[in-house]
Amino acid sequence: MTVLDIRIHEGPDPRLSAREIEVLTTWLVSDSKSEASRALYLSMGTVNTHLSRIRAKYSAVGRTAPTKAALLARALQDGFIDIDDL
């Protein structure tokens, strides 16, 4: 059984798109937004826009995530990333 098989979270699903999940997980395993933008061949502005929208979606369902640590916790809870990936 993988992390994706079990969803352990405290609220509704934020309904992230596949691209938002890709940006989120790449940023979480990167040292910086700049590194994530290079890895994904995106501008820093695009990465920032995706992260802002991700935060807004979590807030909309009552699961705020204002920091990178909070987004990491949400990604782990929702099965978007595994602790072994970090």
DSSP 3-state of 18: helix
- Sign of the CA dihedral with 25 first, then 30, 34, and 35 last: negative
Residue 2: pLDDT above 90?
Answer: no
What is the pLDDT at residue 9? 56
Q: Which residues contact 11 (CB under 8 A, 6 or more apart)?
A: 61, 62, 63
In this prediction the pTM is 0.86
Encoded amino acid at 36, one letter: A
Bigger pLDDT: 7 or 70?
70
12-69, pLDDT tens digit by residue? 889 999 999 999 999 999 999 999 999 999 999 999 999 999 999 999 999 999 999 9
E-state strands within the chain = none
Nearest C-alpha neighbor of 25 from the set 6, 1, 8, 3 = 3
As its CATH architecture, domain 15-81 has Orthogonal Bundle (1.10)
**Residue 8 pLDDT > 60:** no
